[in-house]
Chain A
Amino acid sequence: DQQVKQNSPSLSVQEGRISILNCDYTNSMFDYFLWYKKYPAEGPTFLISISSIKDKNEDGRFTVFLNKSAKHLSLHIVPSQPGDSAVYFCAASARGGADGLTFGKGTHLIIQP
């Protein structure tokens, strides 16, 4: 039973355009959500996070939106750059992170020139 779902295994976006990565979750106990970026042969790198008490968090080109009623979050990257090509993982946490993060299977973002 997947508690965090990323339904798009891959996404191709033209350089300069907006990239939108989506994530759905089922566990209503999740209270913190994170996005990680992963290059091949490297560990995931923390990108941006959002608490369940907020509906938007912005950091430079990256914005995360949370819709609690729909149990849905999305990551917007604008403008997309070639270096953004990577696998993006959505993760969720309950109980202050003590149980570890629950990850989706990832979306491979490809930025085309």
Chain B
Amino acid sequence: GAGVSQSPSNKVTEKGKDVELRCDPISGHTALYWYRQSLGQGLEFLIYFQGNSAPDKSGLPSDRFSAERTGGSVSTLTIQRTQQEDSAVYLCASSADRGGYEQYFGPGTRLTVT
């Protein structure tokens, strides 16, 4: 069956531009997560959706970051006025429900801000 998909796979953008990253979770998975992995670091949790709502947005690094999810499926992570420190691999994961500990990851979007 289809796993988690993300697009684009790679994105190079100039400092100050806005970018939008997309995640398609596994069909039927109600919980969706965004993480990022900076060079040499582990995965950093950003935000979690149960259905279309995100109960806690405190993991987002700054107010330039926002995320939404529509129809309980596709999610977009938007970074406004990108900075060089935003360069990282952004990973999306989904799980069956809020109690689904096992999260299944997409291949990630590698973002490079020049």
**Interface assignment of A25: CB less than 8 Å from any CB of chain B:** no
**Interface assignment of A34: CB less than 8 Å from any CB of chain B:** yes
Q: Is the CB of B43 within 8 A of A101?
A: yes
Q: Is the CB of A100 within 8 A of B59?
A: yes
Q: Is the CB of B101 within 8 A of A93?
A: yes
Number of A-B contacts (CB under 8 A): 68
| Bound CA–CA A36/B56 (angstroms) | 25
Q: How many residues of B contact A (CB 8 A)?
A: 31
**Interface assignment of B103: CB less than 8 Å from any CB of chain A:** yes
Q: Is the CB of A49 within 8 A of B91?
A: no
Q: Could you say which of A6, A46, A89, A93 contacts B43, with CB atoms under 8 Å apart?
A: A89
Q: Is the CB of A34 within 8 A of B102?
A: yes
Q: Could you say which of A41, A46, A105 contacts B103, with CB atoms under 8 Å apart?
A: A46
Chain B interface residues toward A at CB < 8 A? 4, 31, 33, 35, 40-48, 50, 55-56, 59, 91, 93, 95, 98-108
